[in-house]
Structure 1
């Protein structure tokens, strides 16, 4: 047995290369043990690091990291844009639906008004909005020497024609109040002279297109003028007494005339021709009016009747209600009218009733000594077309504005507009912005009284509207 083998067997350390090899083994074992210790220690360090990383995760992230996370895919972007587009389309459709509903409401309202207007039952409520004008706001146009008897306003509200007992006709500018033209009095029997009236002008009418002006006088004549230039065109003869009323049928050149000879005549102005004559009144006819239908209404004076003439049927409807002479009449719409009489009463009529729907007695009060009082005569009436606003005139030193109640069954006083003199004619403008009054010292049909302090003039009364606030709870 060798010495080396014996030494290993006894457990003694070996010398030489064998010892170096054994030492290397021991070092490797120690190193591996140290590595294991390190790995264990490293495990503990890793746990601590992971704990630190968790605390860092609670801290605010960097913008670069957020942008990375907020980035969307192309598919997500398409989906988002499609949703936005659909939302815009939905909003547009809702807006269009609202606009259509609004337009339909407007169209329905207009159609309803058109139907009511055609039936003659349209009644726009404007009377409550009218504010009484101050005396200083009334414009006074002076040019006639004698009492104003009648007047008309052009359809575009740009000019006024007035006529008087001085036999002249004056065309006034509405804006400036200046005279645009004067048709002078014609001398009787003067041949070759400029045409005109040689006696009191009692009535006038203007066509709805503003082309023709017609005027009638006490000499039984009807003169036709070109309204723009005031050039004389034709002269209609045929009445056997004073021409007291004229009216054009709206939308046409058909002219109706009435006279103290108790007749109603129909003319075609465009063709310069006479059409027919209608009879029925038992006394001198005092006034006449017409609208779009082929019919006219007349005030029968002392025969105490109001008559509706149906031209195609050549028939008439007769209405009774006033106690005195019915001197003035005006259509409110195709189915309703207002009239005034010298018994001081104002009446509202419907074509379906032979008696007044409303009757306002002593509409302008009483005059005279105690115990001998008499009502003020109603010398003129006017109505704003298709509304509830009515005006009446007398010689009571004022023009009165009235409101027609629902169904024209009531007449309520709104306000008084101070004007001294006989209010012989009243006309509302087409827009309803003003009322024109023809004022005279005498009544248009006679000389029963004379008011010296009155001025023979045309008065333009502004009508300002103040919207009425809706009632509480409405």
Structure 2
């Protein structure tokens, strides 16, 4: 017998052409039947067959092939990660570049967000009125996060309000003159107020020459600044710092370091009582000088001042729009836009709130307050003309165009835009904040929160007003 391979005799498969034996025939039949069964159980598209094939491939993959496959997979993952990282960096770079451009324009005083064209007049029913002061409101400020309003009045009280609910969160009561030693708070009409840009400190000034510093979060009294010789009519924190500027009827501007509870210096120059003050991030401030007819920009490090002339009456309020432009109002009824590079107004609107009185004895409505939405083309003015007026600054601050009126009865003694520009707050009283010349009996001493509706958020654009 020849040698068998795989259980089949090699005899009969030789070159001689022998026929297979009976045993060989039966084995071949069985093998043929087995093959048929295997092929019938495994269809070409069967998942079981695919699985078996994959398993066979995995089994057949050599260690070197596996290493090569894993290395390629790792390199592909690295490539994808690098692409995603590059996309993120490009996105962040665009954001940073945009922010840097805004910061540069802001520092140059050329940042102007085009918001005016998207504003719509609010419905009277949407204006919220907060009542809490017994006497006319004289000044208001809004916290940097727009969550709180602080108001002060001739009743010597300070109230902290929650913007969302309209509820009083804290009341710092006032007292009568002579109670200074036993009472923590003001004992005279509060005329001015300011809050630091980080929301930490609140400063208030009154007719008794006193500046009080409070912890804004808790309304806890911290300390008192004395040094002015007359009423403190203006207060402002330098943006990004705890440096405080104060203006007074004693015709001086003082500089304080609130964090260190320290006096810094005094500046002189105005020829009449100071009625208003404002500042931004530069180490300088602007003041309105009442009947001396000037607006002044004080450069603190140089101890120098720029003098601007334009109004015919007493300049009672001033506000910076950006680092290079400001708006002011006077009792001759005019409002003026200024650029720091020119000593005369860029534009003036006379009788901005119209006139009142009998024929032949008509007088313009005094401008008692002005406000600007920072780095935008929107300003607001208040009087006792039964309305607040909103204006658009056009043509590179060379034109003031009226937008719409908001009905409010009484003396609008203070105006402030929220930092996000979503609402305007007005402090209203029956009397002017600086005097008691006459009363508007039908007015209510109140805080009015006026929502600023916009057509679409995409309408607000940023422009470089370099001209």
Q: Give the TM-score of the pair, scaled to structure 2.
A: 0.79
Structure 1 residue 407 displacement after superposition: 1.3
Q: Distance in 2 between matches of 1:407 and 1:425?
A: 26
Partner of 1:225: 214
Q: Distance in 2 between matches of 1:94 and 1:225?
A: 52
Q: Give the TM-score of the pair, scaled to structure 1.
A: 0.78
| Residue 140 (structure 2) pairs with residue 148 (structure 1) | no
| Residue 390 (structure 2) pairs with residue 383 (structure 1) | no
| Residue 435 (structure 2) pairs with residue 440 (structure 1) | no
Q: Distance in 2 between matches of 1:464 and 1:375?
A: 30
Which of 403, 407, 413 is the matching residue for 1:424? 413
Secondary structure, in 3 states, of the residue corresponding to 2:100? helix
Single out whichever of 365-374 and 407-416 deviates more from structure 2.
Answer: 365-374
Secondary structure, in 3 states, of the residue corresponding to 1:407? coil
Q: Distance in 1 between matches of 2:117 and 2:80?
A: 41
Alignment of 1:94-133 (within 5 A): 105-133=94-122
Secondary structure, in 3 states, of the residue corresponding to 1:277? strand
Q: 1:92 to 1:227 in 2, by over 3 A?
A: closer
Structure 1 residue 406 displacement after superposition: 3.1
Q: Distance in 2 between matches of 1:191 and 1:353?
A: 45
Q: Is the 8 A contact 2:157 2:174 kept in 1?
A: yes
Single out whichever of 172-181 and 99-108 deviates more from structure 2.
Answer: 99-108
Q: 1:226 to 1:90 in 2, by over 3 A?
A: closer
Alignment of 1:43-442 (within 5 A): 105-190=94-179, 193-442=182-431
Summarize deviations over 1:10-45 as a string: whole Å, max 9, x none: xxxxxxxxxxxxxxxxxxxxxxxxxxxxxxxxxxxx
Summarize deviations over 1:57-94 as a string: whole Å, max 9, x none: xxxxxxx9xxxxxxxxxxxxxxxxxxxxxxxx999999
Structure 1 residue 107 displacement after superposition: 4.0
Q: Is the 8 A contact 2:180 2:187 kept in 1?
A: no
Structure 1 residue 211 displacement after superposition: 1.0
Secondary structure, in 3 states, of the residue corresponding to 2:260? coil
Structure 1 residue 443 displacement after superposition: 0.5
Partner of 2:10: none
Q: Is the 8 A contact 2:337 2:348 kept in 1?
A: yes
Structure 1 residue 362 displacement after superposition: 1.0
Structure 1 regions of 5+ residues with no counterpart? Answer: 1-63, 65-88
Q: Distance in 2 between matches of 1:227 and 1:90?
A: 52
Partner of 1:15: none
Partner of 2:454: 465
Summarize deviations over 1:94-146 as a string: whole Å, max 9, x none: 99998877665544433221210121211111111111101100000001111
Q: Is the 8 A contact 1:297 1:308 kept in 2?
A: yes
Q: Distance in 2 between matches of 1:212 and 1:231?
A: 10
Summarize deviations over 1:308-365 as a string: whole Å, max 9, x none: 0000000000000111100000011111111000111111111101011111111111
RMSD: 3.0
Q: Is the 8 A contact 1:382 1:390 kept in 2?
A: yes
Partner of 2:73: none
Secondary structure, in 3 states, of the residue corresponding to 1:110? helix
* Structure with more of its chain in helix, by fraction: 1
Q: Is the 8 A contact 1:188 1:198 kept in 2?
A: yes
Q: Is the 8 A contact 2:215 2:221 kept in 1?
A: yes
Q: Distance in 2 between matches of 1:312 and 1:453?
A: 48
Secondary structure, in 3 states, of the residue corresponding to 1:118? helix
Q: Distance in 2 between matches of 1:176 and 1:289?
A: 29
Summarize deviations over 1:219-272 as a string: whole Å, max 9, x none: 111111111111111111111111100001111111100100100001111111
Q: 1:290 to 1:92 in 2, by over 3 A?
A: same
Structure 1 residue 306 displacement after superposition: 0.2
Q: 1:250 to 1:96 in 2, by over 3 A?
A: closer
The number of residues matched between the two structures is 402
